[in-house]
Amino acid sequence: MSGSTFLEKGRETSAGGGKEARRKRSRPVLALGLLAALTVLFLTTVASLAIGSGDVPFRDVVDGVLDPDVSVKGQLIVQEVRIPRTVAGLLAGAALGLAGTVMQGVARNPLADPQLLGVNAGASVAVVCSITLLGFTHATQFIWFGFLGALLA
């Protein structure tokens, strides 16, 4: 009787178990998905610290993170270049994810994105206007006009 419904104590339930059964079944799946995502985040963070243009032994990478000695060249590279780069990447990714979540929440649309809401078009129009009407040619000027156009859109 998999599609039939029953009335039980004044509420309708399906033979398949209803919302509570689906919710209980989905918890392990969500936990497994979260564990997988955190594992991938950890591995990519380690890869970001270990991989770069200079050859740094993995032991120096570990020592540079846990117990830095700036007199060792490899650990200095890790402390001064790779850790700030990795932290900036993590923060930028978190900010983009949060911005997307806020945009979807404000629009009450799980498919909302900057193109759908016209943010990209507003930024593009502002950059084109800054070039054609004001004669700006430097990339940093384009960035600020892009921000302004996206904000106004």
Q: What is the pLDDT of residue 40?
A: 98
The model's pLDDT over 12-63, given as tens digits with 9 standing for 90+, comes to: 555 555 677 666 778 888 999 999 999 999 999 999 999 988 888 899 899 8
The model's pLDDT over 99-133, given as tens digits with 9 standing for 90+, comes to: 999 989 988 988 888 888 888 999 999 999 999 99
> What does each C-alpha distance from 7 to 24, 35, 131, 145 come to in angstroms?
21, 38, 67, 61
For residue 69, name the pLDDT band (cuts at 50, 70, 90): confident
- Report the chain's mean pLDDT, rounded to a whole number: 86
Q: Is 46 exposed, middle or buried (0-12, 13-18, 19+ CB in 10 A)?
A: middle
Q: What is the pLDDT of residue 124?
A: 94
CA neighbor of 130 nearest in space, from 103, 152, 106: 152
Q: What CA dihedral angle connects 133, 138, 139 and 142, to 10 degrees?
A: -20
pTM for the predicted model, two decimal places: 0.67
Q: Label the pairing between strands 5-8 and 11-14.
A: antiparallel
Any idea which of 87-91, 92-96, 113-117 has the lowest mean pLDDT?
113-117
Q: What is the pLDDT of residue 121?
A: 93
Which tokens hold the place of 21? 């059964």
8 A C-beta contact, residue 142 and residue 125: no
Report CA 94 to chain centroid distance, whole Å: 4
